[in-house]
Amino acid sequence: MFLALAAPNILLIVAFSYRPLLSNIYYSTLNWTLGAATAVPVGLGNYVRFFTSPDTLEIARVTAIFTVATVGGSMLLGLLIALALNRSVRGVGFARAAVFSPFVLSGVGVGLIWSFMFDPTLGLIAQVLNTVGLPSPQWFNDPSLSLVMVIVVYVWKNMGYAAVIYLAGLQSVPRDLLEAASIDGAAPLRTFRSIVLPILSPTTFFLLVTSVLNSLQAFDIIRIMTPLGQGTTTLIYDAYLQAFGGYNRAGYSATVSTVLFGLLVLFTAIQMLVLERRVHYR
């Protein structure tokens, strides 16, 4: 019975997850161009090239900044929004749906809409700045501003997800503990720090793991808003550029993807082995 029920899913996972993963590792040992009939084995040559390339440090820096900013921003704003929505007031259901709705929107659509908003000539942000006599920054031409731009959009799209998860965690906080703290004269900030945050630690841990994985694999918004990757080339976007962006280095692209996979496994293991020890499960 177990085999009959599990076999279809196992076959799908093997065919569409593990087989491509193993194939990608094999392709990373080749000097190969997409569409070419032949490939030259280079062993670990692509890996040596990646770790000795002067561009790798900049790509790692951009990836780290993007990941820390998007994960921290979406989780912090999500927690604040969840605290604001954890009330029984009129219209709170609509507010919760409105906050969560950007998360389910297409990343391509979100990127296109925000690209128009950041347009330095006709965009909404430029119009608002012009009303107060300020010029619009060149978001698309300045690499540092391009990174800030995609971070803002990514946080806006994903903070609703964090808010909903945190809201579920807040609604599971025992009311008797909050009432006891209030009777003892604890201030709201002390109650939040000493009672609510420890109870929310499993929720925070779950969000941290999933948000880091999602941010390291963020692609669609970066591709739409900065197609050339000027200042926004993360590891996953570099893998795309190497294979499809004109470099025609599919083997090297597979190397970058394999390195990214290794980082995902490493970060997940660190979080599970180190951070989970500080989680307070009830």
Exposure string over 56-89, b if 16+ CB within 10 A, otherwise e:
beebeebbebbbebbbebbbebbbebbeebbeee
pLDDT in tens, 37-55: 788 899 999 999 999 999 9
What percentage of the chain carries pLDDT values higher than 70?
97
pLDDT in tens, 70-91: 999 999 999 999 999 988 778 8
Q: What is the mean pLDDT of residues 205-220?
A: 91
Tell which residue, 268, 265, 240, has the closest CA to residue 254: 240
Tell me the C-alpha to C-alpha distance, in Å, between residue 110 and each of 101, 154, 208, 224.
11, 9, 23, 9
Strands (E), the chain: 30-31, 40-41
Which pLDDT value is given to residue 192? Answer: 83
Which pLDDT value is given to residue 179? Answer: 77
Which pLDDT value is given to residue 74? Answer: 95
Residue 121 gets which letter from DSSP? T
Which pLDDT value is given to residue 191? Answer: 81
pLDDT at 267 over 80: yes
Q: What is the mean pLDDT of residues 173-186?
A: 79
Which pLDDT value is given to residue 220? Answer: 92
| pTM tops 0.85, yes or no | yes
Residues 6+ apart with CB under 8 A from 177: 195
Which pLDDT value is given to residue 4? Answer: 87
Which pLDDT value is given to residue 239? Answer: 93
Structure tokens of 253?
Answer: 């692209």
pLDDT at 277 over 70: no
Q: How far apart are CA 275 and CA 270, in angstroms?
A: 7
